[in-house]
Amino acid sequence: MNALIQLVEHKESDPVTLSVEERDRITRLLPRATITPVPGSSDSYTINPRNAVGLVNTGETTIQIAPKIGIARALFLVTYALDPRAWKDHDVGAASDATLNEAIAIPFLRHARNAVRRHVLHGYRSIDDSLHGIRGRVRFSDQLRRHQRLSVPVEVTYDEHTPDVIENQLLLAALDKLRRLGRLPDKLQHELAQLTRTFADVTLQHFRPQTVPRPTINRLNSHYAPALTLARLILTNETLELDTGSQDSNGVLFDMANVFETFVHTALREELGLSERQFPRGHPPGGLYLDHARHVRLEPDISWWEQGACCLVGDVKYKRTITGDGNNADLYQVLAYAKATQLDNATLIYASTEAETATHRTPDGTTLHVEALSLDGEPNEVLQEISEIAGRLRERRAVRSLIAIA
């Protein structure tokens, strides 16, 4: 078994011995980490993973990075953002005693087994083929282009009832990735291998993280929904946006800043009862600019639009506010959003605070509200805080307000 380095999000490690090649591999796989030489040593380094959490395998070394808020709470944020209506299905049990890949593998195995308990999902797939007989529909244009006459072989298209459908391909790809990550107990490795054999007639696909499909859930595949949610979590960086380049298969990594921001945006949108078009993240309809020439583009994490007008806007940053007053740079940012949208107040929401939050009023009358969302409670307590924040946002929106989350 290869060497193990255990890290904690945003915490500098004890000195670890690395070759130059291993140091460079870790740098490529964790581009936002800080790797600092230890004074007086030529091969000893400390590593701060910054916002990254999860597991990555360099080939020689496995790096496990624990979230500072705990594995169970981190997975709640991730699974809620992926599917706010089914997050309770993804109970991770004793996640506090597990590594992150175990905490994901255990519920994924449970849901995947439940999905195929009665039978593996089948569906109709359209297949183009050359046959020595007619099946389905003849593709006359291809027939004449390839063979110049109506004779065998015949170019046909037909529908086949098969288990090789996208739902099963996603589950198989997730099983394969978990198996290759390693550092799982023998029992889990055995269960992964056993379940993999269930998909013997399914093609193993290697999905690009940015283009992992999202199957439409209907009455025929609804029993697959919880397993598919976790499969997409394992396979994609869509929600996590951690730049691992071409090394996507080497780990399951999360950018906790993006996890928090995505969770807050999703939870507020759900609580406010808005669509993604009404409550977009990052790209308001038509764009948002600070200047008339439209050279300075603004991309708030949160904005509420009605009939082409913005009545609420915001941004999310994963940090604490020590005094409760807010960071100057963050306040400047939300003030810029207020000016660009011509709204008369802004709200800045932090991951937590160590003091009472504040309200600031600028000389021109713009009000900047500072909020904080504590992640210390149980999931229902966190969602109750979201509900309270959403209530205050509704009140501010009534006077054309601006929200920014940081």
Position 210 pLDDT exceeds 70? yes
Report the C-alpha gap between 280 and 301 in whole angstroms: 8
Q: DSSP for 343-399?
A: -SEEEEEESEESS---EEE-TTS-EEEEEE---SS-HHHHHHHHHHHHHHHHHHHTT
What pLDDT, in 10s, does the model give residues 227-244?
A: 998 898 888 753 333 333
Is-contact 184 106, C-beta < 8 A?
no
Lowest mean pLDDT among 279-288, 352-361, 397-406: 397-406
pLDDT of res. 159: 73
Position 33 pLDDT exceeds 70? yes
pLDDT of res. 91: 57
Q: DSSP for 26-63?
A: HHHHSTT-EEEEPTT-SSEEEEE-TTEEEEEE-SSEEE
| 268 alpha carbon, distance to own chain's centre | 17
Look up tokens 């071409």; give the residue: 246
Average confidence (pLDDT) over 49-68: 87
Amino acid at site 101: N
The phi, psi pair for 394, rounded to 5°, reads: -60, -40
**CB-CB neighbours of 38 under 10 Å:** 14
First-residue to last-residue Cα distance in the chain:
41
Report the C-alpha gap between 349 and 330 in whole angstroms: 10
Amino acid at site 357: T
Distances (CA, A) of 362 to 117, 303, 310, 341, 387: 61, 21, 21, 16, 28
Is-contact 190 233, C-beta < 8 A?
no
pLDDT of res. 155: 76
Lowest mean pLDDT among 169-178, 214-223, 235-244, 339-348: 235-244
Q: In what order do the strands lie in the sheet with 3-8?
A: 3-8, 61-66, 52-57, 251-255
pLDDT of res. 399: 57
Cα–Cα nearest to 235, from 272, 213, 209: 209
pLDDT of res. 89: 64
- Give the HSE-up count for residue 135: Cα atoms under 13 Å, Cβ half-sphere: 13
> Token digits for 378?
């149980």
CA dihedral sign of residues 372, 376, 377, 380: positive
**CB-CB neighbours of 222 under 10 Å:** 9
- Domain spans in the chain, listed from the N-terminal domain onward: 1-66, 123-162, 258-405
| Cα-based torsion angle of the residue sequence 294, 297, 301, 305 in order, rounded to the nearest 10 degrees | 0
Report the C-alpha gap between 290 and 12 in whole angstroms: 38
Cα–Cα nearest to 338, from 307, 360, 306: 360
Look up tokens 């593996």; give the residue: 120
Residues in the chain: 406
Using 50, 70 and 90 to split pLDDT, how confident is the model at 203? very high
Q: In terms of pLDDT, which residue wins out, 275 or 100?
A: 275
Cα–Cα nearest to 171, from 229, 126, 252: 229
